[in-house]
Amino acid sequence: MAKKKIEQDDLSESFEEEVRAFLSNEEKLHLFDDLTKVNPVTTTTVLKCLQARYTVNLFYTNAGCSLVALNPFQPFSCLYSPELMREYHVALRPQDLKPHIFAVAEQTYRNVQSQIDPVNQSIIVSGESGAGKTWTSRCLMKFYASVAASVISPKGSETVERIEKRVLDSNPVMEAFGNACTLRNNNSSRFGKYIQLQLDRFHHLSSASIQTFLLEKTRVAYQAPNERNFHIFYQITKGA
């Protein structure tokens, strides 16, 4: 037993040395654009890498086939410009570009178009309250509306624009009934949203549907200290 404990202690010390050695090279931590490349993988090394990237305005980091997005809490219009959308859309291998929500969107769009094995695609946007899930969903919608519009038929482009507008215009209505002010977020979504986009045989956006689920109904009767009820009640009161 004593020998086994000594071996475990040696392994523990060796592992700690690896962690210290990895973290000692702080000026290069922001270069890790995929957390699977971090070695050794610990909570400390992963968080330090994300922190280093955040300080140089790199808010997206791959974690294998997943994407970690950090909320910058300030506008960065250049991160979501039409020019950047086109860059990811026309890239030979979008996954070779910097990690971005557009890279995820483009890869799923290409998977749907695959001539060998086209498969329906799903993107799960999850995170803490205030993490930026609603914003990310809007960016995805704008990207698909941009790349899935028909460049041949003006009527097809009008259809895509109309679908995008309806989906985005529905946000204020759903947010009124399903969003509330919390300690972390003044416009926190208190429900889940499932958006389904349908493409025609030419891979152009043809229709969309929205389903809601898991509404936090208990908020109507009780709100935590310093939090509020759903926006709709205050809007009605103000408009009365």
Residues making up the binding site for ATP: 127-134
How far apart are the C-alpha atoms of 238 and 240, rounded to whole Å? 6
DSSP notation for the chain:
-HHHHHHHHHHHHHHHHHHHHHHT-GGGGGG--BGGG-SS--HHHHHHHHHHHHHTT--EEEETTEEEE---SS--GGGG-HHHHHHHHH-S-GGGS---HHHHHHHHHHHHH-SS-----------STTSSHHHHHHHHHHHHHHHTS-SS-HHHHHHHHHHHHHHHHHHHHHHHHHEE--SS-TTEE-SEEEEEEEE-TTS-EEEEEEEEE---GGGGT---TT---BHHHHHHHHH-
Binding-site residues: 127-134
- Cβ neighbourhood burial of 97 (10 Å; 0-12, 13-18, 19+): middle
Give the amino acid at 85: M
Based on C-alpha coordinates, what's the Rg of the chain? Answer: 22
